[in-house]
Chain A
Amino acid sequence: MEGGILISGFWVALSVAIFFIVSFMLAHLGRIHTGKGLSEYYVAGRNVGGFISALTYSATTYSAFMMVGLVGFTYAGGVGALGFELIYFMGVMLAILFGIRFYMAGRKKEYITPAQLLGAKYGSRFLQALVALICLVFLIPYMSVQLIGSAYLLETLSGGQIPYGLAVVTVGIIVAFYTFWGGMRGVAWTDAIQALIMIVAALTLLVYVVQVLVGGFNVLVLRLETEHPELLTVPGPPRGAGRWFSFSHFLGLTIPWFFFSITNPQVVQRFFIPKSIGSLKNMIRGFLVFGFTYTIIVTLLGLASKLLIPNLSKPDLAMPTLLGLVPAPLALIVMVSILAAAVSTSDSILLTLSSMATIDIYKNLKPKASEKESLKFGKIVIGIIMVLLVLFSLKPLGLIVELSVTSSAYLLQFVPATFGAFFWKKTNAKAATTSIILGCLVTGVLYFTNIKPLGLWPAIWGILINTLTFIILSLVVKPYPKPKIEGGAGDGI
């Protein structure tokens, strides 16, 4: 059977309702413990413990892509999908290189957003607004894809009893409402419970699939090696004229994601929330355990799916179809876990984008705006983004999907400026601004014209030209004599 299972719409709706009631209660608890001011609302007063920080970091990073996209990717392309995900995971080393610096800078200068930090380091309000604007343009579509995925899942699993449109509007409004209500503390606590649901459900599903459906781990290995050996090597099985993971494709996929932990604002903002260095360390340690375990589980599920349902027309159907083979209660729990993955990524991005629109754009243009006024603006932004999200998701345009898929390629363009801000005193705002704009333009033009010079992906060309421009302009242009904003380049953080 293809296209998923039919669980009664009543049970799907009930599970979703319970999930959101619990999430809202946690968000409300977060609200009760949240004091006044921007720092309290957006970074939980920089007072979150290591355990909750680790879980919100994990839930924010891992979206519904894991249990739907990556399972499908492994199902069709084999172990290359694991390589892709683990190379991203090794990029967490950058979080260690920068994490302590983000944390210290955040505490010392009271930064709330990554764009604020970058703008201050270079002494450029324009750069600050530019970074925020790029994040808004690419991350709103990325969030809408999470919403689209959740709504399709609910519609498919209920056999159409929960219509797509109703699912989009309901999930969109509820997520936006509890994010608005709970602020960062609420989001962190809901993320924590959602992360636990994600890992427990995925592990339970894997045990059931391998032990009951496949017949044990040894059988899984033996059958894979004899029935689908092409899945166990790279570049993997044929795809069109090429292979699933040709080297240039693999490079194009992995490089933007390798830098994910320092380019995605919703992730960087999490370095501002731990209450101590000990909590920061535990946040990263916890994420390492969660990310590694989750990746192994998900890729094994993809490989096992190939043995159980080998002839699907689309790889993305692997998970919904696999759920058709397991008992309904387990399928419901996994469905809730996928929903949890989608909403825990979306709520974090939503709050981060609200903080960026408020601090990096609104307060940037209106520096004398009070905290109360700014916070009011930020909460209105959450509402506006929610409306955009629902509209984009109700009628997904090709452009929205394209922007979402390529978001990591554009956010990658922050890398040279981020390195320069902390490690190169000679650099300057013009170099940072020009290189980011040029990198995004090159990436965009190559994507939309579908040109891959020398077989390299647009993101690679974008970052190469960006880095070259950054280095040349840093050497040629004289730095600002004195940064206009506190905490300029080379302030020793």
Chain B
Amino acid sequence: MALKKTVKIVCFLVIILLAYIIPYTVLSSLPKLWGAYLFWVVLTLIAVAFMCSELSGWREES
């Protein structure tokens, strides 16, 4: 259980770090809408899916 929690926290931190790193490195020389713009949008959707999966675990007796 603790391991599962740690993995989730690490995954979330990786998402946040990628949101800072990728647009300022790999995508900084790609002047396309499918560059940094699309990257942030897709990463956010992954974060949203992650959050929704967390929410689904909440029960009235939590």
Q: Is the CB of B36 within 8 A of A234?
A: yes
- Bits for B36-54, please: 1 = Cβ < 8 Å to A, else 0: 1100110111011011101
Q: Is the CB of A104 within 8 A of B62?
A: yes
- Bits for A238-257, please: 1 = Cβ < 8 Å to B, else 0: 00000000010011001000
Instruction: List 4 additional contacts besides A93-B12, A229-B31, A281-B58; criterion CB under 8 Å.
Output: A96-B51, A225-B33, A233-B31, A234-B27
Give Cα A93–Cα B15 distance, bound, in whole angstroms.
Answer: 11
| Contacting residues, chain B, for A247 (C-beta < 8 A) | 24
Given contacts A247-B24, A280-B58, A288-B48, contact A296 B31 (CB under 8 A): no
Give Cα A299–Cα B41 distance, bound, in whole angstroms.
Answer: 11
Of the candidates B29, B54, B60, B62, the one whose C-beta lies within 8 Å of that of A233 is B29
Determine whether B4 belongs to the interface, using a CB cutoff of 8 Å to chain A: no
Measuring CB to CB, which residues of chain B are less than 8 angstroms from any residue of chain A? 12, 15-16, 19-20, 23-24, 27-33, 35-37, 40-41, 43-45, 47-48, 50-52, 54-55, 58-60, 62
Min CB distance B52 to A, Å, is 7
Q: Is the CB of B19 within 8 A of A87?
A: yes
Given contacts A233-B31, A277-B62, A288-B48, contact A79 B37 (CB under 8 A): yes
9 residue pairs A–B, Cβ–Cβ below 8 Å? A89-B47, A90-B43, A225-B33, A232-B37, A234-B24, A234-B27, A250-B24, A284-B55, A299-B37
Q: Is the CB of B47 within 8 A of A90?
A: yes
| Contacting residues, chain A, for B30 (C-beta < 8 A) | 232-233
Determine whether A82 belongs to the interface, using a CB cutoff of 8 Å to chain B: yes
Given contacts A83-B40, A86-B40, A281-B58, contact A234 B47 (CB under 8 A): no
- The number of residue pairs between A and B whose CB atoms lie closer than 8 Å in the complex comes to 96
Give Cα A92–Cα B51 distance, bound, in whole angstroms.
Answer: 8
Of the candidates A79, A104, A234, A288, the one whose C-beta lies within 8 Å of that of B51 is A288
| Contacting residues, chain B, for A230 (C-beta < 8 A) | 31
B15: nearest chain-A partner, CB-CB: A90
Q: Is the CB of A82 within 8 A of B40?
A: yes
Q: Is the CB of B35 within 8 A of A232?
A: yes
| Contacting residues, chain B, for A437 (C-beta < 8 A) | none
Determine whether A4 belongs to the interface, using a CB cutoff of 8 Å to chain B: no
B61: nearest chain-A partner, CB-CB: A277
Give Cα A216–Cα B33 distance, bound, in whole angstroms.
Answer: 15
Min CB distance B21 to A, Å, is 10
Given contacts A225-B31, A281-B58, A284-B55, contact A93 B50 (CB under 8 A): yes
Given contacts A93-B50, A230-B31, A233-B28, contact A83 B60 (CB under 8 A): no
- Bits for A69-102, please: 1 = Cβ < 8 Å to B, else 0: 0000000000100110011011011001000100
Determine whether A33 belongs to the interface, using a CB cutoff of 8 Å to chain B: no
Of the candidates B19, B24, B55, the one whose C-beta lies within 8 Å of that of A86 is B19
- Bits for A202-223, please: 1 = Cβ < 8 Å to B, else 0: 0000000000000000000100
Determine whether A224 belongs to the interface, using a CB cutoff of 8 Å to chain B: yes
Given contacts A79-B40, A83-B40, A93-B47, contact A233 B27 (CB under 8 A): yes
| Contacting residues, chain A, for B41 (C-beta < 8 A) | 82, 86, 296
Among B32, B44, B59: residue with most chain A CB under 10 A: B44
Query: Closest 4 A-B residue pairs measured CB to CB?
Result: A229-B31, A232-B31, A79-B37, A90-B47
